[in-house]
Amino acid sequence: MDKLIISVALTGSWTTREQTPYVPLTPDEIAEQAVAAWRAGAAIAHIHVRDANGIITCDPTRYAEVREHIRAAGCDLILNFSTGGGAGRTTEDDRLAPVTLRPEIASFDAGSTNFGEGVFINSPTFLRRLARLMQEHGVKPEIECFDAGMVTNALRLADEGLLARPLYVQFVLGVRGAAPATVPQLVHLVGMLPPGTPWSLCAIGREQLPMNLAAIVMGGHARTGLEDNLYYTRGYLAAGNAHLVARLARLARELGRPPASPAEARASLGLSAA
């Protein structure tokens, strides 16, 4: 099987310092943990940014600052800017703004779902608008699928010529209101993809590590990080994102799929060389 592409989701939209002192919030903190995760084996950094008060924002200047700090450290991570906007905490126009910075990858949430006590809305009109903007700026969509309906949505948009094949799919399992983080669910979702479609998996909370391992042995890729899970083991907080990445990288090597470098991940995903 191919080398494992490890994505690290550094910050997310919701995690607070009250929950863990290790979550990075400022641009320099996010960049510092991204570089540490890269050194531990990550090839892709999935980035959200916060404002001066630690609240989720889509401000392109904050994204640009993170990128500047990462590149100044000589780090060639693939940067994946989030367009999720906090699952209802920002406007659609705000969510489009990071794409104009032309990151190599940006997230593309392929449908609407209940999200905890809220609703994460991604209407067909918004998705077509986001897809066209990504095409315009040469950004590869990371197609986040929280359930089977989102896979169907993505395939339909590909048939319309709005998403280029092969798709790059990130299954997001275990969100309260969407598909559960189980191996049978993952097998079903992977079976919906056209042959040769690269895919990755993230799972929420305690299911992060076991589902990461399932993805490794099934030939997919894996995402870890404090956006999805705060703990290293039960009752013990992960001491930053690199702590989680280093464990996943070690286990991947033991399972015969050593971590891909950013250059190897670019080649695998059809991205231009950095």
Tokens 């593309």 locate to 108
Tell whether the model's pLDDT for residue 154 goes beyond 80. yes
Radius of gyration of the chain (CA): 17
Tell whether the model's pLDDT for residue 162 goes beyond 80. yes
Confidence band for 169, pLDDT divided at 50, 70 and 90: very high
- Calpha distance 27→200 (Å, rounded): 26
The fraction of the chain above a pLDDT of 70, given in percent, is: 98
Yes or no: say if 231 and 19 are a contact pair by the CB < 8 Å rule: no
DSSP annotation of 176: B
How high does pLDDT run on average in the chain? Answer: 96
What is the reported pLDDT for 115? Answer: 86
- Give residue-wise pLDDT tens across range 19-63: 999 999 999 999 999 999 999 999 999 999 999 999 999 999 999
Tokens 């997001």 locate to 172
- Calpha distance 121→112 (Å, rounded): 5
Superfamily of domain 6-269: Aldolase class I (3.20.20.70)
What is the reported pLDDT for 150? Answer: 97
- The strand pairing partners of 224, in sequence order, are 8
Confidence band for 83, pLDDT divided at 50, 70 and 90: very high
Gap between the terminal Cα atoms of the chain: 24
- Calpha distance 180→173 (Å, rounded): 5
Q: What is the DSSP string of 171-213?
A: EEE--BTB----HHHHHHHHHTSPTT--EEEEE-GGGHHHHHH
Confidence band for 274, pLDDT divided at 50, 70 and 90: low
- The strand pairing partners of 50, in sequence order, are 56
What is the reported pLDDT for 116? Answer: 83
- Count Cβ atoms below 10 Å from residue 254 Cβ, excluding itself: 10
What is the reported pLDDT for 88? Answer: 67
- Report CA-CA distances (Å) from 9 to 38, 111, 161: 12, 20, 29
Confidence band for 87, pLDDT divided at 50, 70 and 90: low
Tell whether the model's pLDDT for residue 89 goes beyond 80. no
Confidence band for 85, pLDDT divided at 50, 70 and 90: confident
- Give residue-wise pLDDT tens across range 233-257: 999 999 999 999 999 999 999 999 9
Output the six-digit token pair for 144. 């986040």
Tell whether the model's pLDDT for residue 14 goes beyond 90. no
Tell whether the model's pLDDT for residue 173 goes beyond 80. yes
Domain borders along the chain are: 6-269
pTM of the model: 0.96
Residue 234 C-alpha from the chain's centroid:
24
